[in-house]
Chains A and B, each alone.
Chain A
Amino acid sequence: MNRILGRVAFATALFLVAIPGFAEAPPSHIDLTKFPATQLDDVVVPLPSEVFNVLDKLGSPNWQGELREPTIKNRGERTQIALLLGAVVAEGFVAVEAADKGRVQRIGRDVLELARAIGVESTVLSRTNSIITKADSGDWVAVRRELDGALTDVKNAMIELKDAQLAHLVSLGGWLRGTEVLTSVVQKSYSPDGADLLNQPDLLKYFQQRLAGMPLRMRNNQLVNKIQKGLDEISPLINQKITPGSVKRINEITGQMVKAIDARA
């Protein structure tokens, strides 16, 4: 991701202050094949809150029942820690949905500990402190924002440390746990709108290509290898009409992968 202007604040400020004016009418249809620009670097990986924002509108699932306890003490190589970090942040969103203050605060501390384990602790310290205090006051919107921010900060810090591969694993860990929860919720109360949220073939392809492009040393890692196989198994299920059966199967596969991340294998 380019940082040409180098100031998120600048871009955010324009978002806040700009006043609408007239625009040239855009064409109603374009030929996407003329854009060589669908390069992987530019794919936007959505934040977990974008998915949970929609889940909020789909009803009131039993979020407490969706919570699980990640085992962050069982740490292995950096690849596993990166995946676990992403999964723990996604767990934070579930805890927010469940309005479970204690769990959110523990997750805040877990994020800090995992960030420390891969050398990016200072990047997320203020975020994790904020998660803990905002959870205490029940400011769930702010907690979500800090969780999103922690994920972004960790990934950016890894990229700055020339560890972009690990940054992708953080995103992937979050996506896997997010997808496990999403399929669990949709499975319990199936609706076409809920199932439609799984229509993410390009995002899945992005993760597959990222794993395939990793150095051999990382691809040979047992956990990464297992996740690669899991994604290959999910791919045909997501690339067709999503049925209750495919939702169930995707839930099983992502559940197995999240367990493998926890167990380091």
Chain B
Amino acid sequence: MDPYVKQGYLVRDDQWGGDLGLREQKAIPHTLFKGNDYWFCMATDLEGARLAIHVYDSKGKLAENDSWQKGRFACARVLAPATGTYYVIVEVTNSPKERTTWAMVYGYK
């Protein structure tokens, strides 16, 4: 069940969200700290929609160590190699509707 929490990740009690069109992306800047291990997860409540989430560094280079996507959920993991600004890129890759609402949370340890 709760694999990340069991692994010691603290899930921030807050969320980021909005709505996106198909193949529309959004960047969420976030200062990550070297030494921390992060999981960013996003979801939608729209059946049939598919999402993607990936993390890039300030130069636009893919920075994540792991990622997965399943149905209405997607997650990406980053072990920040340096402290600085990273960009969490969220995207709707498939949806039965024109706009898809989504929310993102993250955890760290």
Task: Please name all residues of chain B whose beta carbon is closer than 8 Å to the beta carbon of A44 when the two chains form the complex.
Answer: 16, 28-31, 88
CA distance A58 to B30 in the complex (A): 22
| A3 proximal to B (CB < 8 A) | yes
| Of B15, B19, B43, B71, most A-chain CB atoms within 10 Å | B15
Mark out the residues of chain A between 184 and 233 whose CB falls within 8 Å of any chain B CB in the assembled complex.
193, 196-203
Determine the interface band of chain B, counting residues with CB < 8 A from chain A. 35 or more
Distance to closest chain B CB from A148 (angstroms): 7
Interface flags, B70-105, vs A, CB<8A=1, else 0: 111111000000111101110001000000011111
A1 at the interface (CB under 8 A from B): yes
A24 partner, pick from B16, B52, B84, beta carbons under 8 A: B52
**Known contacts A21-B70, A57-B35, A47 near B12 by CB under 8 Å:** yes
Interchain CB contact under 8 A, A18 and B82: no
The number of residues on chain A lying at the interface, defined by a beta carbon within 8 Å of a beta carbon of chain B, is 58
Question: Which residue from B11, B34, B45, B83 sits with its C-beta under 8 Å from A12?
Answer: B11
Bound Cα distance A18, B34 (Å): 26
Show the binding face of B for A, using Cβ within 8 Å. 1-5, 10-19, 25-36, 39, 41, 43, 45, 52, 54, 56, 58-62, 64, 67-75, 82-85, 87-89, 93, 101-105, 107-109
